[in-house]
Homo-oligomer: A and B are copies of this chain.
C-alpha cells in the first residue's frame, strides 16, 4: 500500500459498502429473491451469487477500514469529516458516501423470476460503474487490484443472470400473463418538444421508428387522455372519464 492512506477514498468506498447499489444491497436482493424462488436451479444460482456478494461486503469494509485507520480523532479531522470522525469514530458504518443509512428501499424484489433477473442485470451494471470510478480515484496498486477483482465479478454475475434469463425462453417483452393491448403497445407518444433551435425537431431512432412503431403526436395535448378515456379505455365508465378527462396540460387550439 502506498505510504499515505486516503480517507477520502475510504469515504467513496462506502458507496459500495452501504450504498444503494453496494454489496449489501446485492447480497440481500439476490438472497431474498432466492428465498422466494420456486425454481430450484435458479434458486441455487441466486444463493451462490448472494453468498459471494456477502463475502465482497467484507472485502470492501476491510478496504475502507484500512484507509480510515490513519484518521486521528482530532478536531481538524472531525470538522473536515464528521461522518468518519464522530459518527463512526474512525470505523466503518453502514452508510453511503453522504452518510445516509442503508435502507431496504434500495432493493428490487418482485417474486417474478424473469423480472427479478432483469433488475439484477441492471444492478450489476450499476455496481460495475461505481467500482470503475473507485479504481480511477485510487493510486495504490493493492487497492486497485482488489477493486479490479470486485469489478470483474460484477461482469461475471451479469453474464450469469443473463444466461439464466435467456434460459427461461421468454419473449423479451412478454412479462407476466396478460398481453398488452395490440396497436396501442406500438404507439410512441411524442410528449416533449423537439430538439432544434426552434424546438420543433423531435428525435427519431430505433425506439420510435421501424418495425411496428407509430409515432403519435402529444396525445395529452391534441386529444387528451379524455378523448382516449372516454371513447376507448374507460368506456362506459363515466366517473373516470369525467375526472381523468381533464388533464393538467392545456389543449392546443
Contact = CB atoms under 8 A, between A and B. Distances in A.
Given A66-B240, A244-B62, A148 B233 contact: yes
A151 interface: yes
Given A115-B126, A148-B233, A133 B193 contact: no
Nearest to A139: B75
30 contacts: A1-B239, A15-B82, A32-B61, A36-B90, A45-B207, A47-B191, A47-B246, A48-B190, A55-B220, A75-B137, A78-B133, A82-B98, A86-B133, A87-B96, A94-B107, A97-B99, A108-B126, A115-B122, A146-B233, A146-B237, A146-B244, A148-B178, A151-B180, A161-B207, A164-B205, A167-B206, A192-B248, A192-B249, A200-B251, A221-B221
Contacts of A146: 229, 233-234, 237, 240, 244
